[in-house]
Amino acid sequence: MSPVLWEFGLSLECSGDPETSCCTFLPHQTPLGIREGQHYRPSRNWNESFLCLRHGQVFARSAEDVHLEFDTLGRYPTIPPFWQIEAQCARESCGKKHTLYASGPSIVSEAQLVNRILKLNAIVPCDSHDLVWKRELIHGVCWV
């Protein structure tokens, strides 16, 4: 049996099966909160959008959804990079700004992150339409 990684994270029910659901692990400190021993202390009462970089689905999560998650060390030897994504809608006359969070073991640079987002073309509600992604309007900050 492989060793297990226990870290604070958020479950994303991409597959519909809790046994195989994706997870966004949270680094020990982010704009969303900080780990203190066996507890997670949110920086504020937040509700944010989390993007699954594997399936391209977006999930609304709150600070209350953070709990200890586990994975075998075979899949992720350490916490995967955690990204804060700032995107501006490219639809003409919109320009609304969005913040999303994501993590993925194979995404180690902002360029890789942007390429993955554009490939996924995830549906993110933006007023009366969906967010229109454009390379120049997507920026990522990595928290480790």
- pTM of the full structure: 0.86
pLDDT band for 94, please (50, 70, 90 cuts).
very high
Total domains in the chain come to 1
Structural domain harbouring 75: 4-143
- The pLDDT tens digits of the residues spanning 68-82 come to 776 654 555 567 889
| 70 DSSP β-pair partners | 6
User: Which H/E stretch holds residue 58?
Assistant: strand 58-62
CA distance 123 to 27: 26
